[in-house]
Structure 1
Amino acid sequence: MNRSWGVRLSMTAAASALSLAFITGCSSDSDEGKKDTAADAKSTPTAAAAPAGKTHTAEELKKLLLVAGDVTGYEVEATEGLVPKAKSEAKIDKAACGPLVWSSVALPPGDTTISASNSLKEKKAAPTSGSLDAAALLDATRTLVGLSSYEGDGAQKAMKAVSDSITTCATGYTSTDSEGEASKITKVASEKGAGGGDEALAFVETVDVEGETATVHGEVIRKGNTVATFYTINFSAFAGDGKMPMNPPALITAQLAKLK
């Protein structure tokens, strides 16, 4: 997880919505019951052979993102200034782990520059006291959603890159941002996610921040030539049991329904 990106998001959210922000992180395989076999987490031959769909432009992808009212109980936020704009903003000690990093910050996990993203925050009732304490500021659940479009078999290659990363980076990796802030991921494992689309992968990572650990869940789904990434975080996990929420199935289903 990248703390400087998280701080940036925190400051923006505190000023506008009085809630803490999305941090790019990772989660663990501590939830053994949620793990599935590698075969379950990876695409099946039938899925991989599915016919490709339309290649979209960045503007078309923006129009395909979820908007306010698409899913009850969520509000939509822009990601500008909250997560890195380009892959060049992060240095990774293991290059093969790049697709995992990009999937966690709504950048394309594969080889394309055509993408769009937003963040969906779960709505919560305002505190009756009229003021927010530190715990309330931390307890904000956000899902960062990224869409990327590819030509030819680029989308299938992107899915394979993520699948390979899950295996290659099982023992962890370190990502450092342009400001020198390092994110230490100590474990990566496949798990069973919401699924859907033509191919679906889900992973869980363990992130270490100054001795405190938490788990974060990521999901990458291909529908035709479009790849959708989902990454959900609630910063209060660092002060609690360390378990981040799973990616909401309702958000995933709604987003996939908008893809063509």
Structure 2
Amino acid sequence: MKARTAAMAATTAVLCLAAVACGPSDDKSEKDDKAAGTSAKPSTSAASDPAASDSAASAPASTPSSSGKVLSKAELAKAALTTGEVASYEVTPMQGGEETGTEKSETEACRPLVAVINGAPEPAPSATVFRTVMDKSEEGKDDQTVVTEILTSHSGGTAQLLMRDVQDAVKACAGGFRTSSEDGPSSYTEVKQLNLPKAGQESISYQVTGSIEGDKVPLVFQLVRTGSTVVTFYVANFLDPKTPELPAQLVTAQAAKLP
């Protein structure tokens, strides 16, 4: 990934998570590029809590039943945040969002996490909408807050199944995992649950730590479910190993818009 502003880099955040953020590279300039690319504002308040679950309700062991209207792509777009709904934040369609990643987990238990990293959570949704959310008050800063937001609708109770599978994978893959693709292998050294504010009917938040030439790259995800709709929020810190902050007001505002 070439050196660009945080705003430009964020438009392809989902696509380059595995290929750039976490995979080994022979390009020595890539290590410097990350300091000028996608970055979230570092936070000292995002605490990890491996013992606590961020889910508002635990999914049963059996296959979950359907709940809530399954939104079309047009309805998802209408439900997505727009510029002006949260002060200082600009919301735009994510450039290249239709092209999801192709990383494959080398461990089956970690497959749900890799699917989220690819921007294609499993089970496969019936419709998907991608958005990039930026804090315009921080424009020009290296650590400008840039959030990727993915709204997906699911039929037949698979929204609950998605949440359950990701929650199980967070626990099973605490020691990290590896992926492979046509670009080569990628390594993620740690997965830990985060105790972020809950939202919607059910939510999960966690950090996946990747690496670039040995440097830790923390990636924070929060999944929020309301009915048959799941919203995935993603934010990363390519400047230093501190856990990036996912603005709670964005999550709360988006959850409030879901039907």
User: TM-score under structure 2 normalisation?
Assistant: 0.76
Does 2:108 correspond to 1:95?
yes
Trace 1:147-162 onto structure 2 (pairs within 5 A): 147-162=151-166
Which of 138, 141, 144 is the matching residue for 1:140?
144
CA distance in 1, matches of 2:230, 2:176: 24
| Contact kept? 1:106, 1:145, Cα under 8 Å | no
For 1:86, the equivalent position in structure 2 comes to: 100
Identify the residue that residue 257 of structure 1 maps to in structure 2: 256
**Where does residue 71 of structure 2 map in the other structure?**
56
Closer, same or farther: CA 174–57 of 1 in aligned 2, 3 Å: same
Percentage identity across aligned positions? Answer: 30
Answer whether contact 2:50 2:193 (CA < 8 A) is retained.
yes
Matched, 1:167 2:171: yes
1:175, 1:184 within 8 Å by CA — same for their partners in 2? yes
Indicate conservation of the 8 Å contact 1:110/1:154, yes or no.
yes
Shift of 1:61: 1.0
Q: Which ranges in structure 1 are unaligned for 5 or more consecutive residues?
A: 1-6, 128-135
* 2:121 is the counterpart of 1:121: no
Aligned pairs for 1:214-225 (under 5 A) are: 214-225=217-228
CA pair 47-220 structure 1, distance change in 2 beyond 3 A: farther
Distance 1:33 1:74, change over 3 A: closer
Q: Kindly report which structure 2 residues correspond to 1:19-34, keeping only aligned pairs within 5 A, or say none.
A: 20-21=9-10, 22=13, 24=17, 34=47
Matched, 1:65 2:80: yes
State which drifts further: 199-208 or 42-51.
42-51
> Matches of 2:146 and 2:123 in 1, distance apart?
23
Q: Distance in 2 between matches of 1:188 and 1:215?
A: 10
**Deviation of the 1:58 alpha carbon:** 1.7
CA RMSD of aligned residues (A): 3.1
Q: Distance in 2 between matches of 1:124 and 1:182?
A: 37
For the Cα contact (< 8 Å) 1:110–1:161, is it kept in 2?
A: no
The alignment status of 1:244 with 2:248, answered yes or no, reads no
Show structure 2 runs of 5+ residues with no match. 23-43
Count of equivalent residues: 229
- Is the 8 Å Cα contact of residues 173 and 184 (structure 1) preserved in structure 2? yes
More helix by share: 1
In 2: Cα distance, 1:210 partner to 1:259 partner: 40
- AA matched with 2:172: T
Distance of aligned partners of 1:78 and 1:95 in 2 relative to their CA distance in 1, 3 Å threshold: farther
Change (3 A) 1:164 1:212: same
Alpha-carbon spacing, 1:32–1:169, altered in 2? closer, same or farther (3 Å): farther
